[in-house]
Structure 1
């Protein structure tokens, strides 16, 4: 009997608890009044975009209203000049993860917005902006919309994530699936050491049909498309650089690559370009220099270009002998012409011997080199 009373009491308590909780449940109040006024920037503000250096643009507005003072989230939305925001071309949450009545937008992102609105590079056009306020499932566009007059710089608002080179003028030939990858040296900037011969070349974001493609016009500007002009110069080796941020290119002719020995302050041998971003020397005699304190084995490389000499060496100002060192020991980076700094050391076995030297500027990893004692 006592046990039955206990079970009955527990059941009654549970029923009371459920009934009490049910009484506390209320419908979510999603009532909302949209943002009424946009504060900044002013309507038809003119902005000359400088994505690399320009300050962020701050958009501000008055708060939307709700009956219960609940949480309101905001999105800054953009559309084409003739759009109605039914399908915004770009949207981003406001500062403070969407709760503040302001949004800071970089000029780089605003450049993307302008491109999405159909404003071409090196030209001016208009984009519209508004604010979307939301509470729960209720989202309302601001009562006011405004227009910005933007002037885009040269360059691409959306740069390719990767870049490849192919065409009749290249080592890859005209098969896009065999296109040569370029090294990304910074955001939107790509580099490749390669040879070019008479013919034409194209750049592609991916080595496959249907990928975005680009060409370099007669003025050296990068353009979207495939109407590449012909190259008529004899075959030469270049360092090609493509900057999509400003749509410019440079082609520096590489006239030679030498093995520079510090103690002699001169080259002790020349490497030959063999293709695939690689230079080699089958045999270079090496003899360490005798100082009073011992024999000196330091070296780096001279890159001879049409515009002057450049030096490639170690990322370390001073180095130890190579035995037991990681692969990064042999990485090549641009260095100064200081006779002694940023050099490597030959294996002691190389003294009074010949060495085989290979230098790789391939894009699939750090620029590097190997020394093999013969």
Structure 2
């Protein structure tokens, strides 16, 4: 009997709770006004895009929608080809603040992508349309007003490759694209590589697979396509540098030799020979610290002789300490000036009146660095 009373009480509580919940139910009001006037940028505004400038942005602003119940409204800015009705916009982006603010900030890099999606080619000017889409729950309304932007694209790719590889019969890895040589990425869209090229052909790709995007150089311009670049003559070492932001070949320079430069003598005391994969090695190089009145000087750096002149690689530190006990970063290589004394390294004191073997690695797979082994 006691159990029956307890069960009855529990059922009564559940029914009371259900009745209470039912009384609190109300329908969701999804009604809202359409977005008001677009305010920024002005209709037919002209924007010269600079996608390589990370700080270049454009703000879009509009009047907020008014929901009947004062609830939350979310916004998207939609872009379409000039004259499009936004039924299938080419690009949409949520507004600032996770979609709740009546404005959005869009980078020139993304606007360049939008221009490309709307059929505006590089080095060309064209028009795109934009409007605002407001939504409250399942109710979505496209603004009654749209505006037109005139966008001027620079030379370059709207979608720069995330990575860059070198492949082809003229390269160190041959025609097998799965073994393509990876470039070092300096910044978005900018890549460099130290490598050798022999007679044959090569091309650039964004993936070491057959399905990657392909690129080639025509003069100083980078173009997308399956064409290849032809190399004639003997095998030579090159420095390659490309900027996809402006579709430009920045540098293709032959590296003629690399020397170990000793500051006190203001000359190179030995040469390194290129092996492969951006690496140079020397044979035994005699080292004699220069005897000044205050002591023996042991400073050095490296000199790259190129068809365009001599480039020096040395330390990021203007003044250096002994390498003994230093971290691996001590030996990292950086482009430095031709100053006789600054940004040099120091030999291990044990190298004085001995021979050393120098190795320089300018491989894209790690930091540029070097080693000195006393023999």
Using the size of structure 2 for normalisation, the TM-score is 0.92
Deviations 1:251-286 (A, max 9, x none): 122122111112222211111112221111111111
Structure 1 range deviating more: 69-78 or 171-180: 171-180
Q: 1:7 to 1:167 in 2, by over 3 A?
A: closer
Aligned mates of 1:10, 1:174 — CA distance in 2: 78
Deviations 1:311-339 (A, max 9, x none): 11112223332232222111101122222
Q: 1:176 to 1:7 in 2, by over 3 A?
A: closer
2:203 and 2:229 in contact (8 A); partners too: no
User: What is the match of residue 374 of structure 2?
Assistant: 373
Structure 1 range deviating more: 340-349 or 63-72: 340-349
Counterparts of 1:234-249 in structure 2, within 5 Å, are: 234-249=234-249
> Helix, strand or coil for the counterpart of 1:130?
strand
Shift in Å, 1:96: 2.4
User: What is the match of residue 90 of structure 2?
Assistant: 89
> Helix, strand or coil for the counterpart of 1:245?
coil
User: What is the match of residue 130 of structure 2?
Assistant: 129
Q: 1:3 to 1:274 in 2, by over 3 A?
A: closer
Shift in Å, 1:118: 2.0
> Helix, strand or coil for the counterpart of 1:31?
coil
Structure 1 range deviating more: 304-313 or 199-208: 304-313
Aligned mates of 1:144, 1:244 — CA distance in 2: 36
Counterparts of 1:101-112 in structure 2, within 5 Å, are: 101-112=102-113
Shift in Å, 1:201: 1.5
Aligned mates of 2:340, 2:25 — CA distance in 1: 80
Counterparts of 1:205-220 in structure 2, within 5 Å, are: 205-217=206-218, 219-220=219-220
Aligned mates of 1:190, 1:93 — CA distance in 2: 32
Deviations 1:85-126 (A, max 9, x none): 233222111122222212121111100111122211111222
> Helix, strand or coil for the counterpart of 1:206?
coil
2:193 and 2:364 in contact (8 A); partners too: yes
Gaps of 5+ in 2: none
Deviations 1:142-196 (A, max 9, x none): 1122222212100011111110001222222222122110000111100001122
> Helix, strand or coil for the counterpart of 2:253?
strand
Shift in Å, 1:233: 5.4
RMSD of equivalent CA atoms: 2.3
Structure 1 range deviating more: 124-133 or 75-84: 75-84
Deviations 1:340-359 (A, max 9, x none): 22222212221111111111
User: What is the match of residue 39 of structure 1?
Assistant: 39
> Helix, strand or coil for the counterpart of 2:275?
strand
> Helix, strand or coil for the counterpart of 1:322?
coil
User: What is the match of residue 252 of structure 2?
Assistant: 251
Aligned mates of 2:163, 2:75 — CA distance in 1: 34
> Helix, strand or coil for the counterpart of 1:200?
strand
User: What is the match of residue 174 of structure 1?
Assistant: 175
Aligned mates of 2:121, 2:105 — CA distance in 1: 23
> Helix, strand or coil for the counterpart of 1:84?
coil
User: What is the match of residue 139 of structure 2?
Assistant: 138
Gaps of 5+ in 1: none
User: What is the match of residue 293 of structure 1?
Assistant: 294
User: What is the match of residue 202 of structure 1?
Assistant: 203
Structure 1 range deviating more: 29-38 or 345-354: 29-38
Aligned mates of 2:299, 2:93 — CA distance in 1: 55
Deviations 1:212-258 (A, max 9, x none): 110101x2200010123433454332210010000001212212211
Using the size of structure 1 for normalisation, the TM-score is 0.92
Shift in Å, 1:10: 7.5
Aligned mates of 2:284, 2:337 — CA distance in 1: 26
Aligned mates of 1:97, 1:234 — CA distance in 2: 58
Aligned mates of 2:40, 2:149 — CA distance in 1: 11
Q: Residue 225 in 1 paired to residue 225 in 2?
A: yes
User: What is the match of residue 303 of structure 1?
Assistant: 304
Shift in Å, 1:7: 8.5
- Number of aligned positions between the proteins: 373
